[in-house]
Structures are given as structure tokens and as C-alpha cells.
Chains A and B, each alone.
Chain A
Amino acid sequence: MSERQVCMIGGGMSQWGRRSASLVDVVQEAAKACFDDIPGIKRKDIDGFLFASSYCGRNPFQVNAAPVMAERIGIKPLNMCSRVDTLCAGGSSAIILAAGLVKAGMADVVAVAGGEKLYTPQMWEAYYSEMASIDHDWDAPHGMGLPGPFFAMTAKDHMKRYGTKKEHLALVSVKARRAAAVNPKAQFQKEVTLEEVMKARPIVPPLTLFDCCPITDGASMTILTTPDRAKAFSNHPLVYIRGTAQATRHSMSANWPGEDLADWVHMRTAVKRAYEVARVKASDIDVAQTHDCFTISELIEAEELGFCKKGEGGPFIAAGQTDIGGRIPINTDGGLLGVGHPFGGTGIRQGMEIMKQLQGRATRQVKGAKIGLTHNLSGLNVEHTVLVYGLEP
């Protein structure tokens, strides 16, 4: 018997941003958008459910959130109903696990949702709770929560070693905001100019306001199933999950595996593995959604994914090679910098944008895209997750 294949057939998301809504509210909005996107599917068709969220147990004070979300959405999974957490990569982890369930025949139609309610009634708590995001006993006591300081040092290492300039970082943000401006679900609906980005207030130099992704409330949901079921549910071209990888080597700042902070050894491990499994090379990728939690991240990711040479991320972006019409359009829907980053929701948002690109129905369409990928990093850059999607299995 040949191995079962798995397809992403459709999906949707809630409005992302600072929402006057609770976690169960935004998850219901995402589920509605998902079911609206696949008119052929009914709630009763769902036999598996994974819910990716990190902060559900913290800010909305709701652990074991999967059954709660399933009940609110109105699905009654019978093969699997569970929460998944890898912080910023939770949505991608859930897609990988759902794909495994479908491939193994342990479930046929799996809904994968993810999201966060991060804004608390008093904002100190949202920032304070971020100290649970990293290696609590060893990094939090140094005041490390939101990882800006770590990525500021990463940017400094890249600048020192390769001559990368602040303008290179700023261009990543300008590109993200341009894409988000035409994405009605994005947190930021307004373009920014290079001058505005360059003059923005400092957060942790060299990173300024527009170099950092925002705090976001929001959710997303997609559905994975077999090619046969997919054809029955939807008329869109089938989008297969071709290969995945998730690599980690350390849990805390002390055991960073690279030569310096600009050297992402563990990302290269994940990329190599995902390309092997998917039987592709960097030059085969037509469109990518990468983890632009900070502008420097997207720049280094372009290098570690093999889209340009190590150290040339800055000039590569400045030459427009990561824009639509360039060598490899990256973050075509606005990325984390433009759409926002409700941790568990992000990997699903990225996967859905790649799916739409390959189905030929993206808002900012990359012409003739056949193979795409998504990438997340998690926490204090401790883990890398890569998924390769294609129109062929």
C-alpha cells in the first residue's frame, strides 16, 4: 500500500490586532472564515482537532483549551482533540502533527486552529508574562522576556561580520507593511516609508519600532485531509504538504550553537532536512513565508534557506529579490511585521498564504507558483520549523 498523502484545502483567520474580543471569540471567527472558505465541508466532517496556543494557559487563564475551543466551534472530533505548543511555531507544529495523523490513517479530516489573546486589561501583565516564554529559571531572571535584546545583538553581529546596514533592515519592514496594507485581516493597514522607519523611536538599538513585530490578538484555522476527500470538499487545486522538519539544539541563551548570533546552525539543519524530505532545493521554491519577528530575522532566514549567499541578505533584499517579481517573494501577505503575531496562529496563517499562492488565489499573487515554504523560529531563537508545500505530492 502506498503512503497516504495529505493536502491543505482551505482556511481562514479572524481579524488580527488589538481586539475587543476574547480567545474563544477570535477562534470562532477563524473557524467561520475557514468553513466559509470551503463550502463543501460541514462541521460533522471534522474527525480530528489540534489547537495551537502558548498563552491560553496564562493570559486568558485557560489550560486544556482544545476541548473548550472544539465545543465553541461546534465540532465533535473523535480521533484526536489536543493542544499543541511550541510558542511562535505552534501553528506549524500542529500542521505537521495533523499531517502525520492523516498520513498514518489515524484521522481523515483534521481541523488545525491556533491563536492567542495577548492583550490583558492592564498592559504590564502582557509584557511581564513574556518572561514565561524563554528558559524561565535562567533567562527570565535577567529580565529577558520579549526577545528584542537577543535579536538586537543578532543584528549587531550580522552588521559587524557582513557590513549589513540599518537601511537593509528597514526595507524588510517597508515591504511587510506594503503587503499588509492590502490584507484586510492584518494588524497594520497602513504603509510606512523608509524615512519613517529609519526615524522611528528606538526599542533596543539598532532595532527601532518598525523592526519589531507587534503584540497581537487573533486566530486562524485550516483543514488538512487526504487528496480524495479534498476533491470532494473543494474545487481548488490540491496543495500537498511535501516535507517538514523541526530542529532544536538548545533551550537557553548560554548554549547558542552558532559561531556568533548571526550564524543559525539549527536553522540550516531544519532547512536541509525539510528540503531532503520534500525532494526540493532552494532554487525550486517559488514563494516563502518566513518568520520576520524582527527585520533582521527575515534577512538571515533568506540566507539560511539558501536563497542568497550567507552574509548577502542585506543587498539581496535591497535589490528587491524578496519582493513580488524578485527571485523569491517573501512574506507576501505582510508577515509577522505587518499582519501581527498571535503565536499559535502564525504558522497556520503562513501555511494558508502559501496554499492560496499555489492555488492561484492570493491577494498579491506570485505568478505560476508551484512550490512554497513556511518557516518559524521559536522563543529566544531555540527552534526552527520548516514546511514545504507543493502542487505535486
Chain B
Amino acid sequence: MPIPGIPVLEGKYFATMDFYPIEAPEFNRISKFYENLAQKKLTTTKCKKCGTTPFPPRVVCPECNSDELEWVELADHGKVLNLSEEVAGVPLGFEAPLIHAIIDLGNGLRMLSRIVNCPAGQLKEGDEVKLFVFSIPPMIMDIKEGTKESPRVFFAFEPVKK
């Protein structure tokens, strides 16, 4: 199907319109995060010199400037500290109500995440949630022989069934 108004763009992939990260190793140096995520592991980088473990992952330690980092696993369960359910103004690609939560993952890490597999009005503060990994549309890139599809995953959290 031609793209209305801009037929020359038919069949093209728009990195500038993609709300998911460009995960392929050709385009970033933290692609291991996404490889680990595909194995259902939430990870980040830890500095081998000073032990600093920031999230999101880095390529250089923001504390000691070392570039010797290793991948470590983060908790895949957490507790809901606060939540919201957006009913209007939800961006294309997401459905209302769009649920967000601030999750305490322990060790001082609080993360904002979408909550999925959860009916409206059910989630409460203090609820336990667990990592949920899902496939997202592949990223398309040009290679010598034509184009290549690079598979991708992303994550959200979901309620732990009581």
C-alpha cells in the first residue's frame, strides 16, 4: 500500500518514527542488554573497577571513567510504589487504559514501566509484579544483498497472580 501523501516511502522502515530502540549490534554498544532480555533476563552493566552498577547500562563507568564493564542481572520481581492509568491521549501503538507504575526492584533501583496483562482498576500500591518480555516488530536495515530483518524484544511488568 502506498503511503498517503508520500508514495516514495512505500515499504520503507522509519527509524525516526520508531518508539522502540534500534537494538541491533550494528547500531549500539549495549545490544547485549537486548540479547539478555530475549533470554528473559533484565540486566545492566557493572564497573569491574569500582563496582558502580547504574541503570540504564553504559559503555563507560560514570563514576570512575573505566570502560571495563560486565553484565549483571537485576531483579525480575518488584513491588509497585505508585501507578497511573491513562485513559486519554494515549499514543498510537498503545491502548487505553495505559497503565504505568513506579516499581521498586531493590538495591535502590526504582523503575518506571508499563504494566501489561492487567485489567483496568485492578492494580494497587504494594502489589508484586514480575518481568514480562515480548517480541516487537523487527528493525529493517540495508545490507549489501538487500535488506535484513533484525528481530527485537522489549519488556514490561505484569501482576504476579495471587
Quick one: which of B93-128 are within 8 Å of A by CB?
93-94, 98, 100, 102, 109-114
> Provided the pairs A149-B98, A153-B102, A252-B56 are in contact, do residues A204 and B87 lie with their beta carbons within 8 angstroms?
yes
A interface bracket (residues with beta carbon within 8 Å of B): 35 or more
Rounded to whole angstroms, the CA-CA distance of A249 and B133 in the bound complex is: 29
Chain A residues, CB < 8 A from B112? 139, 142, 144, 150, 252-254
Rounded to whole angstroms, the CA-CA distance of A139 and B98 in the bound complex is: 14
Do the beta carbons of B82 and A142 come within 8 Å of each other?
no
The contact string, 1 if C-beta is below 8 Å from chain B, for chain A 141-165, is 1111110111011001100000000
User: Is residue A205 contacting chain B, with contact meaning CB distance below 8 A?
Assistant: yes
Taking a contact as CB atoms closer than 8 A, the residue among A131, A260, A261 that contacts B19 in the complex is A131
Do the beta carbons of A140 and B86 come within 8 Å of each other?
no
The contact string, 1 if C-beta is below 8 Å from chain B, for chain A 122-136, is 001001101100001
Do the beta carbons of B86 and A127 come within 8 Å of each other?
no
> Provided the pairs A141-B154, A143-B94, A254-B55 are in contact, do residues A204 and B85 lie with their beta carbons within 8 angstroms?
yes
Do the beta carbons of A148 and B21 come within 8 Å of each other?
no
Taking a contact as CB atoms closer than 8 A, the residue among A140, A149, A252, A256 that contacts B84 in the complex is A149
User: Is residue B140 contacting chain A, with contact meaning CB distance below 8 A?
Assistant: no
Q: Which residue of B lies closest to A152 (CB)?
A: B84
User: Is residue B60 contacting chain A, with contact meaning CB distance below 8 A?
Assistant: no
Do the beta carbons of B87 and A203 come within 8 Å of each other?
yes
Do the beta carbons of B82 and A261 come within 8 Å of each other?
yes
Taking a contact as CB atoms closer than 8 A, the residue among B83, B87, B91, B154 that contacts A127 in the complex is B91
Taking a contact as CB atoms closer than 8 A, the residue among A141, A146, A205 that contacts B20 in the complex is A141
Measured between C-beta atoms, what is the minimum distance from A166 to chain B in Å? 15
The contact string, 1 if C-beta is below 8 Å from chain B, for chain A 243-270, is 0000000001111100011000000000
Taking a contact as CB atoms closer than 8 A, the residue among B54, B56, B89 that contacts A146 in the complex is B89
Rounded to whole angstroms, the CA-CA distance of A140 and B92 in the bound complex is: 12
Taking a contact as CB atoms closer than 8 A, the residue among B56, B86, B90, B100 that contacts A138 in the complex is B56
Chain B residues, CB < 8 A from A256? 102, 110
User: Is residue B156 contacting chain A, with contact meaning CB distance below 8 A?
Assistant: yes
User: Is residue A195 contacting chain B, with contact meaning CB distance below 8 A?
Assistant: no
Do the beta carbons of B87 and A253 come within 8 Å of each other?
no
Rounded to whole angstroms, the CA-CA distance of A56 and B111 in the bound complex is: 31
User: Is residue A201 contacting chain B, with contact meaning CB distance below 8 A?
Assistant: yes
User: Is residue B88 contacting chain A, with contact meaning CB distance below 8 A?
Assistant: yes
Do the beta carbons of B98 and A254 come within 8 Å of each other?
no
Do the beta carbons of A143 and B90 come within 8 Å of each other?
yes
Do the beta carbons of B91 and A149 come within 8 Å of each other?
no
Chain B residues, CB < 8 A from A143? 19, 90-91, 93-94, 98, 100, 114
Do the beta carbons of A141 and B19 come within 8 Å of each other?
yes
Chain A residues, CB < 8 A from B113? 142
User: Is residue B3 contacting chain A, with contact meaning CB distance below 8 A?
Assistant: no
Measured between C-beta atoms, what is the minimum distance from B36 to chain A in Å? 15
Do the beta carbons of B100 and A128 come within 8 Å of each other?
no
Chain B residues, CB < 8 A from A142? 100, 112-114, 156
> Provided the pairs A124-B92, A130-B91 are in contact, do residues A153 and B55 lie with their beta carbons within 8 angstroms?
no
Do the beta carbons of A128 and B156 come within 8 Å of each other?
no
Q: B residues near A, CB below 8 A?
A: 17, 19-21, 54-56, 81-94, 98, 100, 102, 109-114, 136, 154, 156
Can you sample 5 A-B contacts with CB below 8 Å?
Answer: A141-B19, A148-B84, A156-B82, A202-B88, A203-B86
6 more A-B residue pairs beyond the given contacts A143-B93, A153-B83, with a C-beta to C-beta distance below 8 A:
A137-B21, A148-B89, A150-B112, A203-B87, A256-B110, A260-B81
The 10 closest A-B pairs by CB, nearest first: A253-B112, A143-B94, A137-B21, A142-B114, A204-B86, A152-B84, A149-B84, A153-B82, A140-B19, A131-B19
